Each structure stands twice: as structure tokens, then as C-alpha cells.
A and B are shown apart, each in its own frame.
Chain A
Amino acid sequence: MIDRVGRYALDRVRAAGRLGHFLADLVRAVPDVATWRGPLVVQMRKIGVDSLPVAMFIAAFTGVVLALQASYTFTGTVPLYIVGTVVAKSMMLELGPVLTGLALSGRVGASVAAELGTMRVTEQVDALETLAYDPMAYLVMPRVLAGTVMVPLVVALGIVVGIITGWLTSLSLIHLSTPEFVKGLKLLYQFKDTWFGLAKSASFGMTITLVGCRLGLDTWGGAEGVGRSTMRAVVFSAMLILALDAFWAVVLL
């Protein structure tokens, strides 16, 4: 028992040490702009542009449900224009960033971990090193930067789409006029609502790609290892997104 606990503790310490090395190597790769500049554009497209359909799909239906649930809750007790407030606040502060983040932890996190994991087990990462490339600069830096920059943009578009579908739902199903919806929208709006959601999204994007890269590059054991890393990347990044969500709420709200 003591042996097992000791071994577990040692494993955790080693893992923390490896993570520290990974982050230090990533920081060291930052000045190597010539290496990461080229792949960055490709990754911005893959992580950002290619994620738009799934993010918009989620946002559109979230807006619809928010409007309907708010009207159901408020009918007869609270003025109905508050539906606009609920839709906007919820989309900007919570549901836009978190639902998109969770969806992208599956789409982007899994894809990054699987791609780098396959590169690791097929010796492509070793090949890069023998060609004098730093894998942190060539593989990790562009993905993390693209995730940090593009996820907030995807979330911003998702928020807009969610508010539009909430507005259309209000017009067509709960018979709220456009001026009333807009009145609710503006009622409690603060600029912080916008930047809070987007800053949070940037941290989600960074987390998803960091976890995907870290676990991908740490892959061993062939196809089974790639599957294991991919699954862990999705689970860990989803858990970290929820933990970060709570963290930012405590720190910034």
C-alpha cells in the first residue's frame, strides 16, 4: 500500500516536472518566429475557420432554447422584454464561451492530440528534430497561438448567432416585438460582458490546444497509444474548461 502511494506520488511529481519542461520549452520557442509563422496560418484555418459550422450550430439552438425557457419562466411575473436580457447575458457570459469551448475540446483537442500522437509514434517528430526543427516551435507554438486567437473569434460569432436566433424565436414564438427585445438586450449590458466572455474563450482555446499538444507529443504505444492520448485530451480539456470557467467567475466577476 505504502509502496503504491509512494509510486503514485513519484509519478505525479515526474508528470509535473515534465509539464514544467514542456512549458519552459514552449516559452523558449516564442522567439523562433520564422519557424512558427508559416504553420500558424494553416492552424488558424484548421482550428478557427473549420470549427465555425459546429460552433454556429450549437449557438443557434442555444439561442432558441434560452428565449423559450426565459419566456416560460417569466410569464406573468417579470416583464417579457427581460427575455432579451437573459439571452444576451447568458450567451455572452456563459453559454457562448463554455458550450463552444466544450465542443471544441472534442473537435480541436482530439484532432491535435491524434495528429501529434500519430506523428510521435511514426517518428515524424524525431524526423523534424533531425532536420534541425524544434518541434515546440514548428508543431506546438502555431497550434497554441491559433487556439488562443481563433477560439474567441469563433465564440464571438457564436454569441452573435445565438442572440439572433433568440431574437427570431422571441419574434415568432413568444410574440415579443423587436424594440422590446432590444430594450431587454440593452437593459443590464456592460462592456465587461463582452470582454469577459472573450477573454475566457481565449483561455479555453489556449487550454484545449496546450492539452492536445502535450498529450499528443507524450504518446507512446502505437495506435492504442494515439487513441488513449486523444481520449485523455478531450476529457482533460473539458474538465479544465469547467474549472477555468469557475476560476474566472471568482476572479473577474
Chain B
Amino acid sequence: MIQFRDLRKAFNGRPVLDGFTLDVEDGETMVIIGFSGAGKSVALKHVVGLLPPDGGDVIVDGRAVSQLDRAGLTALRGEVGYVFQFAALFDSLTVEENVALGLVRRRLPEREITTRVQDALRLVDLPDTGSRYPAELSGGMRKRVGIARAIALRPRYILYDEPTTGLDPVTSAVMDQLMVRTQEQLGVTGIVVTHDMRSAYTVGDRIAMLYEGRVRQVGSVAEIQGSSDPIVRQFIEGRPA
């Protein structure tokens, strides 16, 4: 279970998260929506300690992330797969090497690494791209490799940062299917940060809207679709202010 507890973060004096509180239950996919710059990605980075909070904390299975020492943080990161907005693949490594990198760190046997890399690439429908470099892939393929790199670790949690941003509608739908399939086959708990409402409705068990640094509304897909909150309605309908 991941719990955001009164999380506060400011950059250059401007508060981005201002008492963000949210519980993500085991096995569910929670979608966090919100306007650009609302702090969705910032919240996600706190889960794996990439950013230190100014106040509050994120609790992962009872562990307060900001209180963890180096070893504790390494152990936590071993349980979390992180899919970055622009995939964040390493340019100098092939697709296979990118996917294997986290497994090499865990000092798994060579054979197991190969098997896991192949399985992960198959799951994201990219079984024959292992020897290619990220620069040779399209944006959608790179994002799928990013997912493969995350799931190869067999994590308990997967965090997706804007997984469909910059993709055409068809490729976005493929990404959505992939996230649903990953959740179904691996049973992982997921947090998806997005402002793509079609994607949110497809992959989310619950949706939380982040507004002015805190949760404006959280509920099932149906509850969000039927929300009477003017801010939520404006966002999900994509209406200008």
C-alpha cells in the first residue's frame, strides 16, 4: 500500500504540493490527473525518494520513504518499477542492455537475466528489438521498452509518468492495453500520472484529481465521470476556463 501523507513540496518558494494526501490500495491502479504543472510527476518522484519532501511523507508498506537510509531506499527501489515520461533509456546501451540493467545490478545469473529480458520484451510486443539502440526506435516503442525495463524487475508497484503523452491516439491505445495487461498478468499495484482522460478511464480503477497541491476529488471512474465539482468537470471535459 502506498500512502501519501500531507505531502508538501515547493520549488523556488512556489508550493507545488500542499498537503497532498492519498491512499493507493494493493492491487489497484490509481490514476492521478491534473492540469500541467499541478505536481503529479513531483508526487510520483517522492514515492521512490527521487525528491525529498518539504513536509509530510510517502509511506510504502509502512516505510516512511524520507526516513529510509541508503540501504532501505535501495531495497524499496527494488520493489518499484518506474516508467518515465520520455522513457529515459540509456542512449549508449541497446534495448536488451537497457532492460537488463536493473537485473545486472541485482546480480542475477546470466541465464535468468536473458529469460527475464526476453519475457519483458515479449510482453510489450517488442521481441525482436533487443539489439537496437533507443535512437533507432519510435517514441511509442521507446515507452514500451521503458515499461519492459520496469516489469523485468518483477516489481510490486509500477509508477507510470505520463505514459501516453506525445503519442498518437492509436499508439496511446496500445500503451493503455499494455498497462491493463501488465496489471492483469503481474498483479502489480500501479500509479499512473496523466492528463489523458481516455487513458485514465481505460486503465484506472480509481482516479484522483490533483489541484492546487492537494486532492480535489478521488473516486471510481464512474464517480469522476459523474462529478459535479466544477473544476473536475472542466478538466475531464477539456473546457477552457
Contacts and interface: CB of A to CB of B under 8 A. Distances in A.
Interface stretch (A104-112, A128-136, A176-184): A128-136
Interface of B: 45, 48, 50, 74, 77-78, 80-82, 84-86, 88-91, 101-102, 105-107, 149, 153
A173 interface: no
A131 B85 contact: no
A128 B107 CA distance: 16
Interface residues of A, number: 13
Given A122-B86, A123-B85, 14 more contacts: A123-B84, A123-B88, A124-B88, A124-B89, A126-B50, A127-B89, A129-B50, A130-B81, A130-B82, A131-B101, A131-B149, A132-B74, A132-B77, A132-B106
A247 to B, nearest CB: 35
Given A126-B45, A126-B50, A127-B82, A132 B105 contact: yes
Interface string A19-32: 00000000000000
A130 B48 contact: yes
A126 B87 CA distance: 11
A126 B84 contact: yes
A131 B84 CA distance: 12
A35 to B, nearest CB: 8
12 contacts: A123-B84, A124-B89, A126-B82, A126-B84, A127-B84, A127-B88, A127-B90, A129-B48, A131-B77, A132-B74, A132-B105, A133-B105
Given A126-B45, A126-B50, A131 B88 contact: no
Q: Describe B's contact surface by its main secondary structure.
A: loop
A83 B106 CA distance: 60
Nearest to A39: B92
Q: For A35, A132, A133, which residue has the most chain B Cβ atoms within 10 angstroms? A: A132
A129 B48 CA distance: 9
A138 to B, nearest CB: 9
A126 B132 CA distance: 23
A119 B82 CA distance: 16
Contacts of A123: 84-86, 88
B45 to A, nearest CB: 7
A124 B88 CA distance: 5
Contacts of A35: 105
Interface in A6-40: 34-35
Contacts of A127: 82, 84, 88-90
A126 B88 CA distance: 8
Interface in A63-84: none
A130 B106 CA distance: 13
Nearest to B146: A127
Contacts of B149: 131
Interface string A192-232: 00000000000000000000000000000000000000000
Nearest to A126: B50
